[in-house]
């Protein structure tokens, strides 16, 4: 079943763990629960213009949370929504500029007043 790749939005995860993995050319993305590995590969290649070598995906189950149903009622339990993550390994020579900061030129240091008088 071919889906429209514009409906499969993969968003990068920017955490310390994801930054460490990016040094090994592995990037972490949040993907829709219904997306399979082939769709994830096609979406990443289409959105970012890179070549994907491998994909590992996992479903992170939602945490159980408690909530109140009013002043005199018993508290209830529910779970947060599940989320799906994909660990995408890029081919050699491909990379994403997610964690790179633009190089800024250092401003010149102001001159001292004694140097200006001379």
Query: What percentage of the chain exceeds 70 in pLDDT?
Result: 80
Do 75 and 58 meet the contact criterion of CB atoms below 8 Å apart?
no
pLDDT, tens only, 22-44 = 999 999 999 999 999 999 999 99
**Confidence class for position 1, pLDDT limits 50, 70, 90:** very low
Tokens 């399979």 sit on residue: 36
Residue 103 DSSP code: P
Please give the Cα distance from 61 to 38 (Å, whole number). 22
List helix spans (H) across the chain: 16-22, 37-48, 113-117
* Full-model pTM: 0.74
Q: In what order do the strands lie in the sheet with 26-31?
A: 11-12, 26-31, 83-90, 52-60
**Confidence class for position 85, pLDDT limits 50, 70, 90:** very high
Task: Report the pLDDT value the prediction gives residue 51, as an integer from 0 to 100.
Answer: 94
Domains and CATH numbers, the chain: 11-93 (3.30.70.330)
Please give the Cα distance from 14 to 28 (Å, whole number). 8
pLDDT, tens only, 53-76 = 999 999 999 999 888 777 777 778
């Amino acid at each position: 079943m071919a889906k429209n790749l514009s409906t499969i939005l993969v968003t990068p995860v920017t955490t310390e763990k994801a930054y460490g993995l990016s040094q090994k050319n592995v990037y972490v993305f949040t993907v829709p629960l219904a997306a399979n590995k082939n769709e994830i590969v096609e979406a990443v290649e289409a959105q970012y213009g890179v070549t994907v070598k491998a994909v590992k995906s996992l479903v992170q189950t939602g945490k159980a949370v408690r909530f109140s149903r009013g002043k005199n009622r018993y508290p209830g339990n529910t779970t947060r929504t599940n989320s799906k993550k994909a660990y995408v390994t890029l081919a050699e020579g491909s990379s994403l500029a997610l964690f790179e900061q633009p190089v800024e030129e250092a401003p010149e240091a102001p001159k001292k007043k004694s140097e200006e008088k001379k």
